[in-house]
């Protein structure tokens, strides 16, 4: 018999989704290896096209690599700001866009586009579904981390090819995300971008249409 998820669980699930934040401010307290292992094992439960499980997690353990990646992100952030209007640049400069120097865990997530697992089922006409599958694994990790009171931040102001070369991974792997993971400096149920006036969350109805 499949489990029954009652009203209490449904309410807690809605709370979990509401509290899932893109965290940029972290405590430096280390996470236990058993915690990281449990989170990655949970991410493995994510759905994937053809059950191909194309995600590849690379834990960045080298302090030198971490600093090099943080410097690269800082340079890309500065470059992106130059293309903005003055008002937008002022708001942009007030944002903290990564916590790579503080978060105890830094994880790069790649998509293995050539994996034989799953026999290409479902990806022959839409190969991008492998990357979508990796995003689902990241979201599964994100929710599992939040359920443990941990925060996760997705660093996207980076050049994927440069990061892949720095981490010396297979040329068949495509970078999907660079993730910071750890204890949030302080909890907040409102996204930082919304708190700082960058972008509010839209009403769900504005993104739904009918034909």
pLDDT of residue 199: 84
**Taking 80 as the threshold, does the pLDDT of residue 198 lie above it?**
no
From its phi and psi, is residue 10 left (phi > 0), alpha (psi between -120 and 50) or beta? alpha
> Tokens 């440069």 map to which residue?
162
Q: Where are the beta strands (DSSP E) in the chain?
A: 55-59, 105-112, 151-155, 173-182
- Computed from CA positions of residues 152, 43, 133, 100, in that sequence, does the dihedral angle turn out positive or negative? positive
pLDDT of residue 193: 74
Chain segment 59-76, per-residue pLDDT in tens:
999 999 999 999 999 999
**Taking 90 as the threshold, does the pLDDT of residue 159 lie above it?**
yes
**Which among 157, 170, 147, 189 is positioned nearest to 56, based on CA atoms?**
170
* pTM for the structure as a whole: 0.91
pLDDT category of residue 13 using cuts at 50, 70 and 90: very high
Asked if 39 contacts 141 with a C-beta cutoff of 8 angstroms, the reply is yes
Domains recognised in the chain with CATH numbers: 21-201 (3.40.109.10)
pLDDT of residue 201: 85
Chain segment 139-151, per-residue pLDDT in tens:
999 999 999 999 9
């Amino acid at each position: 018999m499949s489990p029954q998820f009652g009203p209490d669980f449904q309410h807690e699930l809605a709370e979990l989704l509401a509290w899932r934040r893109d965290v940029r401010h972290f405590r430096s307290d280390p996470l236990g290896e058993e915690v990281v292992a449990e989170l990655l094992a949970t991410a493995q439960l994510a759905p994937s096209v053809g059950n191909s499980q194309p995600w590849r997690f690379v834990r960045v353990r080298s302090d030198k690599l971490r600093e090099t990646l943080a410097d690269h992100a800082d340079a890309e952030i500065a470059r992106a700001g130059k293309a903005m209007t003055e008002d937008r640049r002022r708001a942009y400069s007030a944002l903290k866009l990564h916590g790579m120097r503080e978060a105890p865990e830094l994880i790069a997530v790649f998509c293995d586009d050539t994996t034989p697992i799953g026999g290409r089922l479902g990806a022959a006409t839409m190969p991008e579904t492998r990357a979508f599958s990796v995003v689902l694994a990241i979201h599964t990790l994100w929710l599992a981390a939040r359920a443990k009171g941990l925060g996760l931040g997705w660093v996207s102001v980076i050049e994927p090819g440069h990061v892949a070369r720095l981490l010396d991974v297979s040329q068949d792997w495509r970078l999907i995300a660079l993730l910071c993971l750890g204890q949030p400096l302080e909890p907040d149920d409102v996204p930082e971008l919304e708190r700082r006036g960058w972008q509010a969350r839209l009403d769900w109805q504005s993104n739904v249409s009918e034909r």
